[in-house]
Structure 1
Amino acid sequence: MDLTLSPEQTDLGDAVARMLATATATPTDPWAGLAEMGLLGLDLPEEHGGAGGTFADVSVVARALGRAGARTPYVEGMVGGHLAPRLDGLVVLAHDEPGRRWTPGAGVRAEPDTDADGTTWRLTGTKEPVPHGGAADHLVVSATGPEGLALFVVDPSDAAVHTYASHDRSPTARIDLDRAPAALLAGPDQAAALLLEASVRAVTAYGAEALGAMEEALDRTVGYLRTRRQFGVPLASFQALTHRAADAYVALELARSTVLYGTACLTEGVVDLAVASRVKVQTGRAGRLIGQEAIQLHGGIGVTDEHGIGYFTARLEVIEHLWGDTGFHLQRLAAGLGDHGAVDLLP
């Protein structure tokens, strides 16, 4: 299993970084820049309008977006695009619900529309939070019908979409469905498997974005320690501070290895829930440590809204709670320990 990036993937990351730098310096929409570069359907088959790339390419883009602190629905669009590749525009999965802590089922109810031709369904319930749900052209909604969990396509204009800013100021939405018309996308025989794959892809892509954010946060912190002077010397000359930065670097490298392994698995077609949970645990732990240390080592300016380091910390916290937090995935991994045999260390 190859965990290294190809020269083409390195060039792709550099190109995205340059585009995002230009978008930051000028009033340019980074989402439009990604579209112009043909990256919105990067790993979709060409027959569905995609570029025919791999998940490793998606990971490279997500990492660059995380490093730039760009607020785009790239990961959400990648997940939705794989669920409904024949739909045009931004497709967003609406799965999370208030009061349901990352459970595989769905509280939204689906019932066939008796007044229609048999292909239309009606959905009732609430989905929240739905990252970038207000920008979606189509919503893929998980709902429970007469025969079990299924996936449906909903036009956002047929639902009440309430948008607001999340903790990191990125747009999210509450979707209220009141007998909203919907088309069946996947029945109970397919929905669970599709959602499992979507969760693995989402967790790994968010892990790549978190990796980019951690890299940028730590680079800025180390740069600050080298340039900020106290008592006539740089902060980096204080051993206690450099030890804290070193601990953050070790956590970053462990997270990097885990994200690269998860990316390689998906690139080779291996969809493993345990691998995704390991990605979530390592990026969650490392993100919390690096975010906290970045703010602490920046001193008083680290807690201000005007300083960029606060955004990366907030973004890492938001990512940690998407598709299950660190504790949730630790419990999932612990539940699978019985599948492994014990090693006898003594002869």
Structure 2
Amino acid sequence: MRFAVSAEQRQFAESLHELLARADTPAAGRAWARGEHEPGLKVWRELADLGVPALLVPERRGGLGASATDLVVVFEVLGHHAVPGPLAESVAVAPSLLAPELLPALASGELIASVALPPLVPFALDADVAGVVLRVRDGRTERVEIAEGPVRSVDAARRLFRVEPEGTPLGAAPAEAFELGVLAVSAQLLGAGQWLLERASAYAKQREQYGRPIGSYQAVKHLLADVATRLELARPLVHGAAVAVTGGEAVARDVSAAKVAAGEAAYLAARTALQVHGAIGYTAEHDLGLWLTKVRALTGAWGGAGHHRARVLAALEDM
């Protein structure tokens, strides 16, 4: 089974790009980091109007009944614009964990969910804005309350909360819940890496040294070409993992391989963008920092490279 982006998926992604380009997500992210949620929640409401929270909710529950392949197309755009909030948790993971009667509210955007899945996901992201906080433990789903937080993250817009040790049991948690969370984060990393590449390339055409744009120097061209290559090599792995989730074959292997590849490509994009921008990239006022810290946080979110490499190795040994 192959995954090629369809005309409908491409059109949806373009609509999403246009919406988020107008939404000033950098300003929303900075406000979110200060605990001022309204600008970010306004973005969420606009995403709900396009149907983003409804993606994986079944049609009979008011959703779109979309697939994992649709999910990665959308999350690459969300990562490109650094939208704040518990996106992977609410859009990708919660639909498979929530009670059916709560799914219509989730699909409409009225309800935001956060999820903890210890030990790999020990905290509930942005639980203070979530209407429901879930924890998956020993294959079971529980509804829990916030214990304390926020815990500081390298990305100030990621507000992490500890949850109470005991919760209200809701039922069995499907194994695909974790895989969907990893897949969504992998697509976010791709999108963030693409934004960093685009910004670095544009800045290389403007910044001059010795009377020439730095982008005209071969060394800089090679740096940017390496990033473009890594992103293009990671994208098929993410798309392939989405197909695996949809088809139910070699899910752990493919999803983990996608997370490793997307994380490494995005991290290279972040390092290169900072190198190209020079000292200005370190300033708090420059938007670059929002994406740099987002990538750094997402590379470790939902399992770091070590965990996912081990899963790939274990799957290969079992073949």
TM bucket, shorter chain? 0.7 to 0.9
Q: Deviations over 1:175-229 (max 9, x none)?
A: 3426x5513322xxxx4xx2x3112111111111111111110011111111211
Work out whether 1:242 is the aligned partner of 2:221. Answer: yes
CA 256–329 in structure 1, closer or farther in 2 if over 3 Å, else same: same
Residue in 2 that maps onto 1:134: 128
SS at match of 2:150: strand
Q: 1:73 aligns with which of 82, 86, 111?
A: 86
Unaligned runs of 5+ in 1: 103-126, 341-347
Residue in 2 that maps onto 1:231: 210
Percent of counterpart pairs with the same letter? 30
SS at match of 2:223: helix
Residue in 1 that maps onto 2:112: 90
CA contact (8 A) 2:113 2:133 kept: yes
Q: 1:293 aligns with which of 272, 277, 283?
A: 272
Residue in 2 that maps onto 1:31: 44
Work out whether 1:153 is the aligned partner of 2:167. Answer: no
Work out whether 1:57 is the aligned partner of 2:70. Answer: yes
Residue in 2 that maps onto 1:284: 263
Residue in 2 that maps onto 1:215: 194
CA–CA distance in structure 2, aligned partners of residues 222 and 203 of structure 1: 29
CA 152–206 in structure 1, closer or farther in 2 if over 3 Å, else same: same
How much has 1:271 moved relative to structure 2? 6.3
* Count of aligned pairs: 297
Q: 2:53 aligns with which of 33, 40, 48?
A: 40
Indicate the structure with greater helix content.
2
CA contact (8 A) 1:255 1:283 kept: yes
How much has 1:91 moved relative to structure 2? 2.5
When normalised by structure 1's length, the TM-score is 0.79
CA contact (8 A) 1:69 1:213 kept: yes
CA–CA distance in structure 2, aligned partners of residues 211 and 327 of structure 1: 19
Question: Quick check: which has more Rg, 1 or 2?
Answer: 1
Unaligned runs of 5+ in 2: 28-38, 106-110
CA–CA distance in structure 1, aligned partners of residues 246 and 310 of structure 2: 26
CA 316–183 in structure 1, closer or farther in 2 if over 3 Å, else same: same
CA–CA distance in structure 2, aligned partners of residues 43 and 85 of structure 1: 14
SS at match of 1:40: helix
Work out whether 1:252 is the aligned partner of 2:266. Answer: no
- The amino acid that maps onto 1:283 is A
Residue in 2 that maps onto 1:122: none
RMSD: 2.2
Residue in 2 that maps onto 1:172: 159
Which of structures 1 and 2 has the larger relative contact order (alpha carbons within 8 angstroms, sep 6+)?
Answer: 2
Residue in 1 that maps onto 2:30: none
CA contact (8 A) 1:163 1:171 kept: no
CA contact (8 A) 1:211 1:283 kept: yes
Q: 2:181 aligns with which of 185, 202, 210?
A: 202
SS at match of 1:298: helix
CA 303–234 in structure 1, closer or farther in 2 if over 3 Å, else same: same
Residue in 2 that maps onto 1:343: none
CA contact (8 A) 2:140 2:169 kept: no
**Aligned ranges 1:97-108 → 2 under 5 Å:** 100=119, 102=120
SS at match of 1:170: coil
Residue in 1 that maps onto 2:17: 17
CA 314–332 in structure 1, closer or farther in 2 if over 3 Å, else same: same
CA–CA distance in structure 2, aligned partners of residues 338 and 175 of structure 1: 36
When normalised by structure 2's length, the TM-score is 0.86
